[in-house]
Amino acid sequence: MSNTTKETIDRLLSKSKESFVLALEIYNKPTIKYRVEGFAILICNAWELMLKAHMINIFGEKSIYDKKKLGETLSLQKCIIKIFSNDKDPLRLNLEKIKELRDT
């Protein structure tokens, strides 16, 4: 693994951790009116970044890019499908429910 690839993975994981923490902080503040929505947005972001770091580690850096949309990375849904191939996996089902909440 090249230094650039390692740096990309480290950067994605660092941002993912920050997004996880922010999601929890927002969710735990009862005075914020849209805390569930804010939590959903940030937790989906955290998972997407973490899954992309995992994909780079396993499949290489090109694996996170959408082949149909030049220069764009894969959506959270496409990352979920690629990593959790079993559509009955409880973690996949939970992630898809949170994504559904975010999308509404």
| pLDDT (0 to 100) of residue 70 | 87
Percent of the chain with pLDDT over 90: 88
- Output the six-digit token pair for 61: 């850096």
CA 20 and chain centroid, separation = 10
Q: For 57-75, b where at least 16 C-beta lie within 10 A, e where not — what string?
A: beeebebbeeeeeeeeebe
- pTM across the whole model: 0.93
Give the distance between the most distant pair of CA atoms in the chain: 46
| pLDDT (0 to 100) of residue 1 | 78
Tell me how long the chain is: 104
Res 15 pLDDT > 90: yes
- Output the six-digit token pair for 38: 């804010």
